[in-house]
Chains A and B, each alone.
Chain A
Amino acid sequence: MTQLLECRECGRRTYYEKRRCLECGGSEFDRVDAGRGELRSVTTVHVTPEGVREPNRLGLAAFPGGANVVAQLDEDLTIGDAVRLQGGNDLRVTDDGTLRGARLVAAE
């Protein structure tokens, strides 16, 4: 998923689906493009669960509208760099198949 949910009441955005807006309690959301975010933190994880790449570089990015996202980071980016969400990646292999989803990549 490379889109965010935007609260129809107050405009607060989130990557993590839920029934109520964290800001105003509103319950109606529109799907919007995430746009361009900024890396707030990065880590390289050396001990990962089975089915997850090792090492697993992760980024925490802040997107417009108050939406933060933690996702796999594909390139050697650092705090302050501009990023976007890129969909369709193989993220994790589980007994029930491969989980696919978004990674953080450099934004032009």
Chain B
Amino acid sequence: MTAQHRDAGVPDASPALDDPPAIAGVGMTEFASADDRPLVDLLLAAAERAIDDAECDASTVDSVHVGNMAAEAFNERSGLANALTGSLGLTGVTARRIENTSASGASAVQSAFEAVAGGHSTYALAVGGEKMSSADTATATEIISRITHDREYEQGVTLPSFGGLAAAAYLDAYDADRTDLARISVKNHANAAENDYAQFRKRIDVEDVLDSPAVASPLRLYDCCPTSDGAAAVLITAEPTTDAVSVAACEGATGTHAVADRTDPLEIESVRLAGEYAYETAGFGAETIDVACIHDAFSILEWLEMEELGLAPEGEAWRLTRDGETALDGELPVNPGGGLKARGHPLGATGVSQVVELVWQLRGDLPEGRAVDGAERGLAVNVAGFGNNAVCTLLEADA
């Protein structure tokens, strides 16, 4: 919490929920480098899978919350929420689009969660999606780098640039080495290899990472998430069945817009605050988390966010990676679906797909070799920009 935050008496977290909203159903498209379907068709496919999973009819949905970053730029279109409700055959519902750059998905989940928690909606559908393949790499890079502060933009700073600066500082500050960083991508690819919905269903080794083209030193191509097409959906309800996964908290927090305005380059204040607020609302803390979906747009972010969220002590997250503790069969599996690195990162879909993954894990839907054994509490963190904003969601299996 910053000094001005304290002085203003801003409440840290939403009030605890006696009867938390729950997840009625989830679904997503298979993430891909290019999916031929138009964006609205992707949103529709994910929405229908979530509604089918809930074993209910689309007519039960009374609010629709669409997460998308840049359909105007990538696809030359807007009006996504209304197009989706039209395709679903819904009229008379509340519908809106939510934009929070690369955390648009989690913000859509938060919007749906708040609609249910606040008594405004009984069945709130959050759908996130992005179709990035319509733009060439240079255009996509420009669209994404445009979210930076003007003083950063003029320097030609891109998102991977911040990843490179953070990684260089981390490797300088602690005993981790370049190989340890590569192990994050190796682990996330191994998880994605078993995930039918992942963009890269391919195992890689440390050498593959170290031999891949340089992007922003010390980061290489295999430290960076791809561009992707895809959509994901979750249906949140106030009237769950007895075995439904509940949403114990969904909290957002902003950080500074200019990354360098943080006092420490290894600090992502938005992630720390979103985590603190979420733990407070949920009434349980980092030590009780069994599985986590972390926003690994760049390998280094997995460590920084784990430390901000209290999932690893400061300067120690790399040891958990090296020791295999974050692997699928480790003490704290991180990114069991492959993360942004290997499941893919269709911007507005990502935050929703993290919740989909956690629900599958907590419901015990997944086969051996894909499942985290005995997981009861899950954490997802979706980050906008390089920490401009973060949303932390905590899920709990039916006790």
Contact = CB atoms under 8 A, between A and B. Distances in A.
Interface of A: 1, 14-17, 20-25, 40-53, 56, 58, 60, 66, 68-72, 79, 91-92, 99, 101
A99 B142 CA distance: 15
Nearest to B144: A49
Contact of B260 (A46, A68, A99): A68
B145 interface: yes
B149 A16 contact: yes
A20 B3 CA distance: 12
A53 to B, nearest CB: 7
Interface stretch (B24-32, B175-183, B213-221, B364-372): B213-221
A92 B156 contact: yes
B165 A70 contact: yes
5 contacts: A22-B4, A60-B169, A68-B261, A70-B155, A70-B161
Given A22-B2, A25-B4, A47 B158 contact: yes
Given A22-B4, A41-B168, A49-B142, A91 B158 contact: no
Interface string B149-178: 101111111101110111111001000000
Contact of A53 (B156, B215, B265): B156
A68 B263 contact: yes
Interface of B: 2-4, 7-8, 138, 141-142, 145, 149, 151-158, 160-162, 164-169, 172, 213-219, 256-263, 265
Given A16-B258, A60-B260, A49 B138 contact: yes
**Taking each of A14, A46, A91, which has the highest tally of chain B beta carbons within 10 Å of its own beta carbon?**
A46
A43 B156 contact: no
A101 to B, nearest CB: 5
B33 to A, nearest CB: 17
Contacts of A69: 260
9 A-B pairs with least C-beta separation:
A43-B164, A52-B156, A16-B258, A25-B4, A41-B169, A68-B260, A99-B154, A41-B165, A45-B216
B210 to A, nearest CB: 15
Contact of A43 (B2, B168, B213): B168
Contacts of B215: 45-47
Contact of B160 (A22, A45, A51): A45
A43 B214 CA distance: 11
A1 to B, nearest CB: 8
Contacts of A46: 213-217
Contacts of B145: 49
Nearest to A80: B172
Given A41-B168, A72-B155, A99-B154, A14 B161 contact: no
Nearest to B261: A16
A15 B151 contact: yes
Contacts of B155: 56, 58, 70-72, 91-92, 101
